[in-house]
Every structure is written in structure tokens, then in C-alpha cells.
A and B are shown apart, each in its own frame.
Chain A
Amino acid sequence: MVTTPLAPSDYLDLVSPLRAGADLRGRIEAVHPETADAATVVIRPGRGWRGHTPGQYVRVGVDVDGVRLWRAYSLTSPPHRQDGRVTITVKAIPDGKVSNHLVRRATPGTLIHLDQATGDFVLPRAKPAKVLYLTAGSGITPVMGMLRATAFDDVVMVHSAPRPHDVIFRKELHGLVAAGKLKLVEVHTDTDGMLDIARLDELVPDWAERETWACGPAGLLDTAEEHWTEHGLRERLHTERFRPSVVVTGDGGEVTFSTTGRTVDADGATPLLDVGEEAGVLMPSGCRMGICFGCVTPLKSGAVRDLRTGEITEAEPGVLIQTCVSAAAGPCDIER
């Protein structure tokens, strides 16, 4: 009443954006380069941060060229760091707006927006006797969170990267090896070629006895899933994907965002989430890979196609769609 039509928080945000009760934000305190194209960002989260479990990711909203963009990154800090800070480690991907910004342009002091940590790519309560981490490229990041937090008696990591100096956390990994806490197999794909999953018998003879966490590009995860399934060990393999695998596209159509009052043409391959954001519509978003259901939005009319399965969903009262993995299948109206 005192501040209508604003809320008192609109004024408090001016002076204390990280206070308890505020929308969850964080302040970038430092950016440490890891490799030529990867960096670790140290973040002081707001008071509302509820902590994380190693292996989980956090969605961060970063203003790039004035536009708020949300992406998910794995947390690489152990939980409950004494100074209360958390870190994410980001690899700049070609044309990646947010990753390039964070790795090359982000400056300490910048406010970013956060969600609570989430993800079920985590270690079980009961410690497995033997562990294998199978990672490639930036897929090492969630595993690093685990490595830093939990010591196992017997842990092997098979990690692929193009060249030795592309291996993120290389120094720290070698330190763990020297201390006898980790067995590390580095595969340098520029010289050794891609990891052939059949070589696992030779690299880690007892792989089948190990509880395995795998993270990396879709190619690696697909072959790993096949391999473990073939040996009847699928439940021993835990995987984390960074991107959905798009399989089906079709004709697009005219998309109307009726609440905002915008209409745009969309092709049949672009997720409606991207279409809406591009048009300046406020779209709720989440993992951007069809898992978290943070982006669900009512479909008022028309039809959409699930990019993962090709399944068509038609509008009916109460139908909600995941905009991050759905594309227009003809004209449709999204209630945003």
C-alpha cells in the first residue's frame, strides 16, 4: 500500500539485491581462466540460496548485450564452501552467446540471476566401492563437483579432450593422481582419435564392477548407454546430457503469443521457447532440454510437434506444452 503500484522489494533491490527474500540472484566475484576457452566463475549467491549436491547444475540468467539469457551450468564447487561462494565452470562453445560472455567478458561485480540448484546426476548416499567417471570435454564439470566433495577408495576417470591443454582442471586432476586419490586415463582425441567404447576393457578392465557416471557429448553417451545395456548393466550407468537430441522436424507455422499480442512466423525446427524469446515475449524457461517442465505453457489453439519424438499435440482446454522441445506444427496460439 505504501509503495503501490510497486512492491517494497522494488526499492530494496536498489540497495540489497542479495538479501533474504529477494528474487534469487548472485554476484560474480571472480572469473578464473581454466583453459583457452573455459573459465570458472566464482559467484556469491543471495541469501535465499539453498545449497547444492555435487553433480547438480544451476540455471543462470545473464544479461548479454542487454538481453537476459538463461543457461544451465554444472556447479563445480564442493557444497558448503566456508566462504559461502559457489562456482560454475563454463566452456565457450562456438556462437554460444552466454558461454562466450561468461568466459571472455564477464567482470567481477556483475549481478546475475539464479535458480536453485537442481538435477539428479548425483552420488548416492551409500558409497559404492568402485567408481568410474566417463567424461568428455566440458562433461567433466559436474564430475569435478563430485570429485571435490567425495573421496572414494577406488575411483577411475576416463576423460576425453582434443589435446592435453584442453583438459579442464588438468593440474588439479594430476594433483589427485599424485596423491593416490584418483586413477586417470586421458584420451587426447586429436592424436588418439575418439574413444572407442570397446577399448574400455583394456583401459579399465573392471569397468563392469564400477558404478559409473558419464557426461559429455550425445555421441559418447549414446554409445555408453548401448554398451552398458548390452552387458545388462544399464542401471549402473548414470548419464547427464547438456542438450536434447532433436530427431524430428516438420513444417512450421504462424505462432501467436496472445497475451503479449505478438505474431511471428516459425519454422518447424526451432523450439517455441526460442521463437517467443526472439519476439520479446516473456517465456518461462528451465533446463531447455525437456526435463524440468519449467517452461510449460498453455496451448490455446493449433498444434505443436515434440522435437524429440515427433509426437503432435493439439490444443485442448488444459493442454500444457514444453516450449523448449516443441516446435510449431502449423499455426498455433501460445498463451503468453
Chain B
Amino acid sequence: MCYNVDMNTYIATFFMHFGSIRFERLCKSKGLEARTMPVPRSLSSSCGTCVKYRAEEPLFDPAHDEMEQMVICNDDGSYTQIYKAKNL
């Protein structure tokens, strides 16, 4: 059991826009602070949409496979990848 109450900031990117909307809804249904926005340029050259959210642990949506990648936002502004879609 993890008692760490430190919140992390995650960014999940999606292949298509609606994946982001659906994921944002999932985050909000779990009471997490979440926002859909364009993918930061430094993260990807593709122009998809992403969801930035704050949580203790990364959130995954097992019902849908629209997620392209998930990163954790480090304090220094860099990203650490924690998930990448297969065959990407």
C-alpha cells in the first residue's frame, strides 16, 4: 500500500482527439484535476491532443487503446516516458 500523498503531473497523448476527451472524462470521474490541450511541441512533432492531469499514480483506461504515450512531468521541465503504445 502506498501512502505517498505527493501528486505527480502526467501527460497522456492520444492518436485522435476523441481519445483525449474520453480520457479527460475518466480522470474527472475519479476526481482528478485534468485538462485536454494540444501536445507540447517538445514532447512530440505530431499535432495530436493530450490530457494533462495530476494524480498520485498514472491512470490507464483498459477499455480503450487510443493512448499513444504517457509521460510524467519532471520538476526541471523534462519528461520521462512511462508508457508507449505497441507498434508505434
Whether chains A and B associate is no
Interface residues of A (CB under 8 A from B): none
